Amino acid sequence: MEKNIDTAIEWFTKAADKGHVSALNSIGTLHYEAGRYKEAFPWFSQAAIRGEVMAEHNIGLCYKLGRGVTKDIPKAIEWFTKAAEKGFAESINRLRELNQPVA
């Protein structure tokens, strides 16, 4: 099956408009995977503000790698910590990689 990112974004946008917070993160993920990091970051931010744990992790990745934002390890740690406090295993692992205590 062929991927059509723009069509997927269109459908996720409809879901986000109906209040599905995870759809906001999914839109960001599609942009991120297409290498459109600056477009991904605002979608991750919208989802994270609403408490979406995967979006918090994704913001941490953006800051850690400098994708869509200026690389900023302290901010990466801040966002990974938010997700780790909710039990998100990938963020816990990233904090360990950065030699940070895990909550």
Residues in Cβ contact with 78 at an 8 Å cutoff, skipping those fewer than 6 apart: 60
pLDDT at 75: 97
Count of C-beta atoms within a 10 Å radius of residue 103: 12
Q: What is the pLDDT of residue 6?
A: 85
And the tokens for 63? Answer: 């800051």
| Rounded average pLDDT per 10-residue block, the chain, 103 residues | 79 92 95 95 97 98 97 97 96 91 67
Q: Architecture of domain 5-97 in CATH?
A: Alpha Horseshoe (1.25)
Q: In this predicted structure, what is the pLDDT of residue 58?
A: 98
Given this model, what pLDDT does residue 1 score?
45
Q: How confident is the model at residue 103, as a pLDDT?
A: 58
Q: Domain ranges in the chain? A: 5-97
Q: How far is CA 48 from the centre of its chain?
A: 8
